[in-house]
Amino acid sequence: MSLFAKKPLEQMLAQAEGKGLKRTLGAGNLVALGIGAIIGAGLFVRTAAAAGQAAGPGVTLSFIVAAIGCAFAGLCYAEFAAMIPIAGSAYAYSYTTMGELVAWIIGWALIMEYALGAATVSIAWSEYLNKLFGGAIPYEWTHSPFESFTDSAGVHHSGIMNAPALVILLLLTLLLIKGTQESAIVNMVIVFIKVGIVLLFIAIGWQFINPANHTPYLIPEGTPPVTDQAGKVIADYSGWNKHGWGGILGGAAIVFFAFIGFDAVSTAAQEAKNPKRDMPIGILGSLVVCTILYILFGHVLTGVANWQDFVDPEKGREASVAYAISQYMTGYGWLATAVTVAILAGFSSVILVMLMGQSRIFYTMSNDGLIPKAFGELHPKHKTPYKANWILFVFVGLFAAFVPGHVAGDLTSFGTLFAFVLVSAGVWILRVKAPNIQRPFKTPIYPVVSALGVIICTAMIIGLDSQTLKVAFAWMAIGLVVYFLYSRHHSKLKNPSEILPHASDFERRD
């Protein structure tokens, strides 16, 4: 069997219409799922990181660049999701346009987006929960065994496991097993809370904006590096993507993490009541809402506090909003607590949607035979891929409990950008090879939108730091080993009796 054998489109459509996952989600649920996954760590942490490391006050422009790249990819996702309403997202779309090997590669890359992303966010959730409780949870039970520190009294502390991260993963896993509709309702409540607090910060913070903080708007060329008290360089602005307009692109690569989420909507396509109408609304609606909030948030944050306050992680970057409120917004200490609640809510919904997205991708890959069939088994009552959820909990839980959060780094951004590139290219390929397939939603200005999606997202991959790219390619190499040792030999495409006639034989005129 060829490495680039394609899964017939008609087979995918039949799979989408067959028995399996329950169709319980409406357009509002899908928009909330997208917002739930998008507004989280990216908004509250990455905004300050991008401002302090590359873009300065121009981080608002970085958000616009990232949003444009996402918009092109989002339009392509919307076309695929409406046409092929099946769980699996970019993996499924690549399977029918570019073949099995490419589909496997993107499925493997998506683990970096969803599974590692969920682990990283759960670790951050644990950190902020402890902050809300005033550090009441001992260091040993909120950090991995690879982390340690010596307190002011000279007592050395070593981590044992990150217990709160494990607890939140367990609770959300149980919720996902219970049912998609129940998960969507909880997510809707969380989204209402965190968006309300974000709007509150924007409204109150606007009156504290100091115009001097927005001048100059871009980090000037020749800005000297910044060192900590020990003399270690913590910010170097000599690189092409660390100052000026290049810094805008570098900042876009950093804040891109903040946009991860709208693509997760497409993983729920097989659970949408009316996917042909609701999927484009869910994908593009959540992207538009969050982009507006991000630009306003970035403008207010860099106006209230100077971007240089966000260079040092020990000062303003990691808790940037609380720092800006405490330092520059006198009398609004309560808002800092509310923001911490919003961050916890944001992290919770991000973890929920990421776990859901990854389990649905596993579900589809299992049905294709590329991973063991246990990943595709549905709960007899709830009709959710409960075994995939439990396996995912073990994998993500081990990472969250025993591995430092910084290890994942920007790997989630790499996995997402890579998926966006292939989905954008996939729309172009399928328009050429199967022009008459019924498309309930069409990507406009074809092929310009597809081409720009590929170009902009590739540029943001290049904008990632070299260490992230090295680790990402190493992860992809491991994935190829798994494919050739297991997946290729168990693929259902090897069984001719399971392959339906090619989609071109069944094309329907628009």
What are the pLDDT digits (tens) for 256-287? 767 777 777 877 777 788 888 888 888 888 88
SS3 283: helix
Query: Which residues in the chain come in under a pLDDT of 50?
Result: 496, 498-510
Comparing CA positions, the residue from 344, 346, 309, 312 lying closest to residue 325 is 309
Domain spans of the chain, in order of start: 27-494
User: CA 11 → CA 47, 436, 499, 500, 501, distances in Å?
Assistant: 43, 17, 7, 6, 8
Q: What is the pLDDT of residues 131-182, one digit of tens each?
A: 788 888 888 888 888 777 777 677 777 888 899 999 999 999 998 888 777 8
Residue 401 · residue 410 · CB < 8 Å: no
Radius of gyration of the chain, Cα coordinates, nearest whole angstrom: 22
Taking the CB of residue 465, how many other CB atoms lie within 10 A of it?
15
Rounded Cα distance between 7 and 367, Å, is 12
Classify domain 27-494 at the CATH topology level: Amino acid/polyamine transporter I (1.20.1740)
What is the model's pLDDT at position 501? 38
Count Cβ neighbours within 10 Å for each residue of 71-105 and write b for 16 or more, e otherwise.
bbbbbbbbbbbbbbbbbbbbbbbbbbbbbbbbbbb
**Which pTM value belongs to this model?**
0.77
Provide CB contacts within 8 A for 248, sequence distance 6+. Answer: 54, 55, 58, 61, 62, 65, 218
Rounded Cα distance between 5 and 139, Å, is 51
Query: DSSP class of residue 162?
Result: B
- Residue in the structure block whose two tokens are 């809707």: 188
